[in-house]
Amino acid sequence: MPLPSSLPPGAPVFAFDIGGTDIKAALIDDTGRLVGLRRKSTIVSNDGTADAVLGQVQQLAASLTRDFPGVTPQAVGLIAPGIIDDAEGIVHRAVNLNWTEVAVRQLAGAALGLPATFSHDARAAGAAEFELGAARGYDDVVVIVIGTGLSCSLFLGGRPHSAGGFAGELGHSIVDPVGLPCACGASGCLETLASAGAIARRYGLATGTPPAGARAVLAFAEAGDPIARRVWKDALDALALTICQLAAVLAPETIMIGGGLAQAGPALFEPLRQRVAARLSFHRHPLLVPAVLGENAGLLGAALKARALLKETA
């Protein structure tokens, strides 16, 4: 089956994926093709407002409009990490962006002069995986995204479950109560061990030599570097523990893993499957599979939400 790399035909829209590291912007045309893609390093401002980021969003939108004059977007979908109420379009807290209680949907809609949606990044990516193929046929699904941070989206009985934005913060489930301090204020969160950011950071702290990224740490581990092996093993153990807890509590049929770390492929999935299989007993054993939409899943999900908004208001 060919992997879906674009959306079905529909209204042209902008999509913005605002991360702690960079902002990705896309323009999707009426055939569903992602015609323009831009990336900029995120300006995380100290003032706690979204002003700097919205300025970047405006610049990116202007650049896309200039380069693709034949495509006229009718709505915009934005996504970001954090505690986000999709229905209200508000971020309660986004640690990596230094945002607290910011009405991003309203501000972005006003800045771009378009109807806007604002959603959680992993939930949007999960919704894209759920709607466009990877999870088709399953009702109970967890989509985990492992990048700079770590979070998940939940589909229970075929419907997304977000609990007003508080569900799915898998990165801040505690796996070691006396573990490392987390940016969220707690200690021993999964994100401090198993996010791509944590893997790179822990290796850098232990060796005094910051690696190029989590994939570099994996390469060192495979080459026999004992510190890299320990850091990678800690990440796998923590992830497996969390997956077993998900299996016991929610019993998903499928757990999809996407984000930068999932590109490690079998080096991630094989040891995870072994650990999970060894630890579960009577539980429903979840199928552990890579997410298929790749790094643009979030953008596609943001675009789907922008299109859904146009349909709602039509």
Residue 131: DSSP 8-state? H
Cα–Cα dist 267/288, whole Å: 13
> Which residue number, 140 or 191, has a Cβ lying nearer to Zn ion?
191
Cα–Cα dist 314/309, whole Å: 8
- Tokens at 38, concatenated: 């831009």
> Which residue number, 193 or 247, has a Cβ lying nearer to Zn ion?
193
- Dihedral in degrees, nearest 10, Cα atoms 32, 88, 46, 21: -30
Owner of token pair 């949907």: 105
- Residue 77's nearest CA partner among 18, 126, 164 is 18
154-183 residues in contact with Zn ion (CB under 5 A) are 172, 182
> Which residue number, 182 or 256, has a Cβ lying nearer to Zn ion?
182
Report, in Å, the least distance between residue 105 CB and Zn ion: 25
Alpha carbon distances (Å) from 107 to 12, 287, 308? 21, 40, 19
Report, in Å, the least distance between residue 91 CB and Zn ion: 16
141 contacts 130 by C-beta, under 8 angstroms? yes
> Which residue number, 132 or 146, has a Cβ lying nearer to Zn ion?
146
> Which residue number, 27 or 235, has a Cβ lying nearer to Zn ion?
235
Report, in Å, the least distance between residue 192 CB and Zn ion: 7
Cα–Cα dist 45/274, whole Å: 43
Report, in Å, the least distance between residue 99 CB and Zn ion: 16
> Which residue number, 186 or 267, has a Cβ lying nearer to Zn ion?
186
- Residue 287's nearest CA partner among 74, 61, 135 is 135
Report, in Å, the least distance between residue 184 CB and Zn ion: 3
> Which residue number, 176 or 253, has a Cβ lying nearer to Zn ion?
176
> Which residue number, 182 or 218, has a Cβ lying nearer to Zn ion?
182
Residues that bind Zn ion (rule: CB under 5 A) add up to a total of 5
Q: What are phi and psi of 287, to 5 degrees?
A: -75, 125
* Interstrand relation of 254-258 and 141-146 (parallel, antiparallel or unpaired): parallel
Report, in Å, the least distance between residue 197 CB and Zn ion: 12
Give Dmax (Cα) for the chain. Answer: 59
Report, in Å, the least distance between residue 168 CB and Zn ion: 13
186-225 residues in contact with Zn ion (CB under 5 A) are 186, 189
E strands, 168-313, where? Answer: 254-258, 287-290
Does 184 contact Zn ion by CB under 5 A? Answer: yes
Report, in Å, the least distance between residue 174 CB and Zn ion: 8
176 contacts 189 by C-beta, under 8 angstroms? no
Cα–Cα dist 164/133, whole Å: 26
**Footprint on this chain of Zn ion (rule: CB under 5 A):** 172, 182, 184, 186, 189
